[in-house]
Structure 1
């Protein structure tokens, strides 16, 4: 493996680390960040780790006006013996490149990106919290920074990685959340950018999220944008339904994100010989199963929350209380197994976990 040349400039001052008992997701950031520049005809260059600081961007940068930006999210964990582990980071880099391609942005070298990520994490290893349900959240992203007010792909970009020590994504933790099924707004349709991890997809969902929160719900469940009857995904998660012993999740259809935790859950369920289907599922089918007493569990999957049980679904005023509003056995089993594999507390039969090697880091 060719080592990526990375310039390292360490900060002269260090921030006070937040209290690990009261971490708020996405509010605290480490001392350093990684940056690489791209220019058409020259490729990716100037790979560097520098002190965390505001970016200097021209007001006419394309990212501000035409939304050329994509991002990823993954986590680093510190095991009981001090080892640092990443969960399927190669999948994140593959998905980042798929998103970049959809947005007409230059792809990154996946191996080089993982090297840069490894070096940054090892420099910031003391920021990785070790309390239960805590981790170091990793946010790689790419922005278009050419100053040009024209509707065309940028000729200049920056690839940046920042780190944030985090606790649970939902204040409820592993306790069931309440979900409002969205009937008015549409986030994505097949052929759009719903399967890319781009900022515009999330901006499109903010109004529905605001309405849901005002009604006491944690998230919205999006339906398809054409017939408005088939389930797609929750705002920050893929969604699963356990109906009469079978686990069902919407099939990848071009308008929902190919979640890495989703993929891992599917592989784990099949490993356990639990019946699984990836297919269309309508709200009518879910309501019918609920009324027959066959809707046994509902849960979301995502990097931030890992597994998030759903205790209530509200579909146009019709409330479905799932499993008496309690965490189901399968949701709990999945959460415990995934979390323990991620943290090295359980054998990893799938080869998902990547252990960071300190000899990759150039710390001087």
Structure 2
């Protein structure tokens, strides 16, 4: 393997590429990974020299704290290739800020910004052939941090690994999406870690989501833990509701992830003259709007899915279908976001970042 060094980054290139073994027309999301990965260790109170190495398994002690006390945070990002083979990221500074915010909430050390961006750009340019052109194609980027220090003492670790891996991606959800509004299980509680992108939040969703899938739904729309009266998030996404010509979404708090796509949806919608209300949304309000025929759309927003329209929802023992619209807000807003991400339109917001 050949080795090169930049100012702050050691690079070890893979001898051969796996890319010719991959069927890019039939990708299962997050199951195939590129040739290289980024890794940096935190030891003795500081982050060491970051490295890019061939994608490989980790050797880690079975007593590593991540396995026992759940000190793990992550992010979801995407890289896009335009028609001129230039590589773009979408609001990466927001992802960087959020992973450090999540780390702080989990008593983990924050990561240096210069290490993050130099490592990410170098990694993307090494594996640029894995980023395919064309709307819908992208490279999903997963930065994450785990507590690697051995020992089962119930306290924060003193050793960590910051890692970035990448997977070529197509659309996240296939087929129609129906959601069930939760009336028993909760995603997060006030004062907890709901606003942190930590692994345990997602693990706790799996069982109630499994139950919902057995009833014919694909995701759960979570409600507040205290009363189950207010709508919060939809599975792995933030959620929006259109009643008449008004777009509603819940405000972020310490239970709801501050979604980067969510913020983009809100800003674009306002610029297009859509009436947007960010306020607590009651379950009963949505149910009544559905009964009266005023509920026009529900859609989720997130990095992996971008925007996912919902065709129907269930609450307790009732189900409702949503109308099929030719003027759906979800379609208009998604197109605007994709055009920015793929460098097909002006980016007046400054969200696009050249890798």
TM over 0.5: yes
The normalised TM-score by structure 1 is: 0.93
Query: Counterparts of 1:11 and 1:163 in 2: how far apart (Å)?
Result: 15
Distance in 2, matches of 1:124 and 1:81, equals: 17
Distance of 2:297 and 2:80 partners within structure 1 = 28
Determine whether 1:53 maps to 2:56.
yes
The answer on whether the counterparts of 1:69 and 1:143 sit within 8 Å (CA) in structure 2 is yes
The alignment's C-alpha RMSD in Å is 1.3
TM (normalized to structure 2)?
Answer: 0.96
Instruction: Tell me if the contact between 2:135 and 2:342 (Cα under 8 Å) persists in the aligned partners.
Output: no
Q: Partner residue of 1:350?
A: 349
Q: 1:40 aligns with which of 36, 41, 44?
A: 44
Following superposition, the deviation at residue 328 of structure 1 comes to: 5.5
Q: Distance in 2 between matches of 1:328 and 1:92?
A: 31
Change (3 A) 1:245 1:4: farther
Contact 1:6 1:49 in 2 (8 A): yes
Mapping for residues 55-70 of structure 1, pairs under 5 Å: 55-70=58-73
Deviation, structure 1 residue 111? 3.2
**Given the alignment of the two structures, is residue 152 of structure 1 paired with residue 161 of structure 2, yes or no?**
no
Deviates more, 1:54-63 or 1:339-348: 339-348
Q: 2:3 aligns to what?
A: none
- SS of the equivalent of 2:135 reads coil
Question: C-alpha separation between the residues in 1 aligned to 2:213 and 2:174?
Answer: 13
The answer to which of 297-306 and 3-12 deviates more is 3-12
Deviations 1:36-71 (A, max 9, x none): 000133x10131000100011000000000000000
How far residue 131 of structure 1 moved from its aligned partner, in angstroms, is 3.5
Unmatched tracts of structure 2, length 5 or more: 1-5
Q: SS where residue 202 of structure 2 aligns?
A: helix
C-alpha displacement of 1:112: 2.3
The answer as to 2:197 corresponding to 1:197 is yes
> What is the CA deviation profile of residues 337-361 of structure 1, one whole-angstrom value per residue up to 9, with x for unaligned ones?
11111001111111100012xxxxx
Deviation sequence 1:57-107 (CA, Å, 0-9, x none): 000000000000000000000001111000000000000011000000000
Return the alpha-carbon distance in structure 2 between the equivalents of residues 194 and 156 of structure 1. 24
1:134 aligned partner: 137
Q: CA deviation at 1:327?
A: 7.4
Give 1:216 deviation, angstroms: 1.9
| Secondary structure at the counterpart of residue 129 of structure 1 | coil
Question: Counterparts of 1:110 and 1:72 in 2: how far apart (Å)?
Answer: 15
2:71/2:147 contact within 8 Å kept: yes
Q: Name the SS for the 2:207 alignment partner.
A: helix
Aligned to 1:360: none
Stretches of 4+ aligned residues off by more than 6 angstroms: none
